[in-house]
A and B are shown apart, each in its own frame.
Chain A
Amino acid sequence: MTSNGTANETHTRPEVASGRFGEFGGIFVPETLVGALTQLEEAFERARRDDRFWEELRTLLRQYVGRPTPLCPAERLTGFVRARARQGKGASIWLKREDLAHTGAHKINNTMGQVLLTRRMKKDRVIAETGAGQHGVATATACARFGIACEVYMGAEDARRQRLNVVRMRMLGATVHTVDAGSRTLKDATNEAMRDWMQSVENTHYILGSVVGPHPFPTIVREFQSVIGQETKGQALRAFSRLPDCIVACVGGGSNAAGMFAPFIEDEEVRLVGVEAGGTGEQPGQHAATLAFGNPGILHGARTIVLQDEFGQTSPVHSCSAGLDYPGVGPEHAYWKQMGRVSYTRRSDAQALDAFSLLSQSEGIIPALETAHAVAEAIDLAAQMERDQTLVICLSGRGDKDVEEAARLKGMIES
């Protein structure tokens, strides 16, 4: 990379040629996809050095997506924490409101960037995978905005529990393919999207939705999501004249966390915490806490930490949240964990559901079930911090899509 420094090049990039993050990352895909990935990398590197590209993207994000999203104090949630914390404890909690971005989650940051790349590559069809449906909706939205044909792969189980988002995608003109293979969730939707791409690479771009997959996807998605952390930095300095003491984000594949954390990686005084899905227990199939229980392996084209058995077969995963229900994690997160720069914890389904209600009723904000995992972690962390400290939660998405499922799960737990 040259050092002509746009606003998007403010942090270090550990990746070198072929997209390595330390020992993680790389390109492990069938030969048919290598050409497409090379073409994408070239298009991205050209765009990255082109001020007009970033100007076009910034304008879209401002006028269409509604950025910058606010950083707002969560006063009643902070009060709730302080009422239960020891004397003098209880950091003030702030929310980075990605739920207020158009379509209701951070996913749109990436899809707007990648749809501009699609246009630059002169491709007229886009495919995507989706778990919770937020990335599918964000992709369908970006494609509708630019008149590009869009097809989305979604696991049948996810389509059931996120029905609202299936309807939204179809309303936006996208074709939704439900996937009945394997666990019928995000992993299987990703397999199908990759299979589609192998026979459609000539006219189709695959808008991958997280910081996973083969190079250059983890880098591209992190770069487009880094707007979250960049805005947070400026907003924190204006709101409380220094950087936050701690930032908490949920991690499935890890795109909202990567976008939030990346601009803070060199600010070592800022504690960064990623929260995985603890599900219902610690046995395989009961959780999706990849960094907690996984091993180095290869999944979906990258070397990363994977939940797998001794033979490299992907393990089943579970989470109440469709967006965290993934047996891998972005290779850069694996690297940050190995470096000790980011700590990763997990929260159970039940804790996430409690936090879902708590944020709804203390702040009037219904969070996505994914995001609720970060909220659950944050209230415990804040209770151990000093009162003059600040903690920022990356409020990655809103929970309208989850109200039916949350009500169903709460009924099951309470009955």
Chain B
Amino acid sequence: MPFVCGGHPSPACLPELLLALEQTGASVVEIGIPYSDPIADGPVIAGAMHRALEQGVTPAQIFEQVASVRDRLSIGLVAMVSVSIVHAWGGSSGFCQRAEEAGFDGLIVPDLPVEECDPVRDAAREHGLAMSLLISPSTPRGRAEKIARASSGFVYLMTRLGTTGEREESPEVERRVGIIRRATRIPIACGFGLSTADQVRRVLRHADAAIVGSALVRRLDGAEDPASTAQAFVGDLVAACGDRSQSTEQNTPDQVDS
């Protein structure tokens, strides 16, 4: 599941990128809506967001771009958006209506903890959107189960403490995935710190999907041809997903229906 930042590397390149990612075999694409103060993001994604905002990119433009290309895509599209934008741009209901009209299938609101999520989750459900909540390595077991049950579409398991960004080590997710599996039947996606095919392959021994953000965004930064850059990199990762489906008996689909 690749992550791209709307409006990056150039203000209007999102439709072209999404088409390329679908061709490459991505099942779902996460689209970051640039926000001025993205505290959950490390320097690569935060930098991409700042550059997009400096070029005047707005959430409205990104939604228009998604809408313009939606009927040529069959992959799932998930918006990753700060609660500040949801709150200001229409509120829970107004925002979810816009997301539905643009053709999104789901939402991730990384700065909205489970205690505060009801208004957005209810509005999302009303507008046919899945809502994935995040589970951190520091989340206690009981709370992780609560978050898993509150999620729809897929559960987002963070493989690292801290912000988004590439890390060298391969995370150990087996135990955490096991705990979440017992609480929910929806797929489990892992993200934060994943950048190589090898890491993706290891994570997919246990989880259903791997989210790769900073490693892709960094490659797109300044790329002359973003679509082919994305295809080259994501192609390797998709191949890693293929290896995994041959080597495990796991029966949960990595295609996220929403």
Contact = CB atoms under 8 A, between A and B. Distances in A.
A32 B85 contact: no
A399 interface: no
A298 B162 contact: no
A32 B37 contact: no
Contacts of B83: 28, 298
B136 A31 contact: yes
Contacts of B47: 181
B23 interface: no
Interface stretch (B14-22, B110-118, B240-248): B110-118
A34 interface: yes
A35 B138 contact: yes
A109 to B, nearest CB: 27
Interface in B63-92: 82-89
A295 B59 CA distance: 19
A311 B89 contact: yes
A343 interface: no
Given A31-B134, A31-B158, A311 B58 contact: yes
Interface in B126-161: 133-140, 143, 147, 158, 160-161
Interface string A21-35: 000001111111011
A18 interface: yes
B162 A195 contact: yes
B239 interface: no
Interface in A188-217: 191, 194-195, 198-199, 201-202
Contacts of B162: 32, 195, 198-199
B113 A28 contact: yes
A299 B84 contact: yes
Interface size class of A (residues with CB under 8 A): 35 or more
B36 A298 contact: no
A296 B82 CA distance: 15
Interface string A41-81: 00000000000000000000000000000000000000000
A158 to B, nearest CB: 16
Interface in B33-76: 35-40, 42, 46-47, 50, 53, 58-60
B87 A298 contact: yes
Given A199-B161, A314-B36, A301 B136 contact: no
B181 to A, nearest CB: 19
Residue in A31, A194, A300, A306 with the greatest tally of chain B CB atoms within 10 Å: A31
Contact of A35 (B58, B139, B147): B139
A414 interface: no
Nearest to A314: B36
B84 A297 contact: yes
Nearest to A37: B113
Contacts of A306: 84
Given A31-B134, A194-B39, A26 B58 contact: no
Given A30-B111, A32-B136, A182 B37 contact: yes
Contacts of A268: none
B228 interface: no
Contacts of B161: 32, 198-199, 201-202
B111 A311 contact: no
Given A30-B39, A31-B113, A299-B37, A181 B46 contact: yes
B37 A31 contact: no
Interface in B159-204: 160-163
A29 B82 CA distance: 10
Contacts of A311: 58-60, 85, 88-89
A187 interface: yes
B56 to A, nearest CB: 11
Residue in B36, B135, B143 with the greatest tally of chain A CB atoms within 10 Å: B36
Nearest to B113: A34
Nearest to B40: A30
Given A32-B158, A201-B161, A310 B88 contact: yes
B163 to A, nearest CB: 5
A32 B58 CA distance: 28
A197 B135 CA distance: 17
A28 B112 contact: yes
A191 B50 contact: no
Nearest to B82: A312
Contacts of A198: 39-40, 161-163
Interface string A307-320: 01111111000000
Nearest to A193: B39
A26 B116 contact: yes
A414 to B, nearest CB: 35
B87 A30 contact: no
Contacts of A301: 111
A309 B56 CA distance: 12
Contacts of A182: 36-37, 50
Contacts of A299: 37, 84
A34 B115 CA distance: 10
A328 to B, nearest CB: 10
A21 to B, nearest CB: 15
Nearest to A312: B88
B163 A199 contact: yes
Contacts of B85: 311-313
Nearest to B47: A181
Nearest to B88: A312
Q: Pick the 8 closest A-B CB pairs, nearest first.
A: A199-B162, A312-B88, A312-B84, A32-B136, A312-B85, A30-B40, A313-B36, A31-B136
Interface of A: 18, 26-32, 34-36, 181-182, 187, 191, 194-195, 198-199, 201-202, 295-301, 303, 306, 308-314
5 contacts: A31-B110, A31-B114, A36-B138, A195-B162, A300-B37
Given A35-B136, A199-B163, 11 more contacts: A27-B115, A28-B116, A31-B136, A32-B40, A182-B36, A311-B59, A311-B89, A312-B82, A312-B86, A312-B87, A313-B35
